[in-house]
Amino acid sequence: MRPPEVPPTDTMAVEIPGVIRGGARIEVVIANVAGHGDPGVTLQGTEGPIALPDGTMVFCETILARVAKVEKDGTESVFVDAALAGGPNGLTWGPRGRLIGATTAPGKVGVRVVYPRGSEAMLADNFEGKPFVRPNDLIADKKGGVYFTDPANTPNPSLPPAVYYLPPSGGTVIKVVDNVNPNGVTLSPDEKTLYVNSGGTGYVLAFDVQNNGTLTNRRNFARYEGLTVTDGKVIGGGDGFTVDTQGRLYTAAAGAIQVFTPQGAYLGSITPSRRPQNLAFAGPDMKTLYIVGGGTVFKVPMLAQGIKSRGGK
């Protein structure tokens, strides 16, 4: 018989100058154990958080294949039900207020518009005629193009792991990165650099973005702190990403949110009481960092500020 699950607890942040105050409370908002958030709520997977224009936050409740919302009072509601959401694992705001997901449900695998209601549409479901395997994360650029990762982490995948770009015109999907085990993906504030988390390397990868969306100058941008190395091999890697207005990069890795300068220097970590998978800035002023993982949603007040346009504003 399994012992009862220990509830996650609030923790206190360690100061990272200009990023977060020492002692800032990393607060449990909703958790998959009784006594947190809406009574009786059991979160079924926590991934892909993103801000709404009003400052609230939605995330992918992956096991239930839907998009859930954290209300202002800290309770959970259904934002997009499974029938319309299509099992997203990541979310990004595209043009015209459209919320786009990296979707994984049978018959809906690809890059899809999942919101607003009535706008649902598949944008891309294959590369050179072969279906995508399991898209993981994505980020839209200001032109309306979308970068997305597919780690192809199923038996006998139809395609190898890669990063793709869907042009703003919605034309032919371009493979922009191969020889990679991709997970999270994001853009720098000026959109001149694309960041990719690649498992097993120990590094965040960076690329220069070209005018047509293709990438050049692949390089190791930052080394994760605290990863396990077994027999000379790095185990695991980073998961989700976000950036702030100053270009600092935040990634979920090795049980914490690791923060790096725009030049790739490690600044420090923000450590919740459960292993984080992904994160996003939200709140009316985009100065609240939401962290999801382990069936839990956390939030913490920040000195740093997220990019408003990436919260649908």
pTM of the entire structure?
0.94
Q: Catalogue all structural domains in the chain, each as residue range(s) with its CATH number.
A: 11-311 (2.120.10.30)
Q: Please work out, in degrees rounded to the nearest 5, the angle formed at the alpha carbon of residue 259 by the alpha carbons of 15 and 20.
A: 30
Report the chain (313 residues): mean pLDDT per 10 consecutive residues: 69 98 96 53 82 96 93 90 96 96 97 97 98 98 98 94 95 95 97 93 95 97 87 77 98 95 98 96 98 94 98 87
Strand order in the sheet with 146-150: 138-140, 146-150, 162-166, 174-177
114 vs 19: CA distance, rounded Å? 32
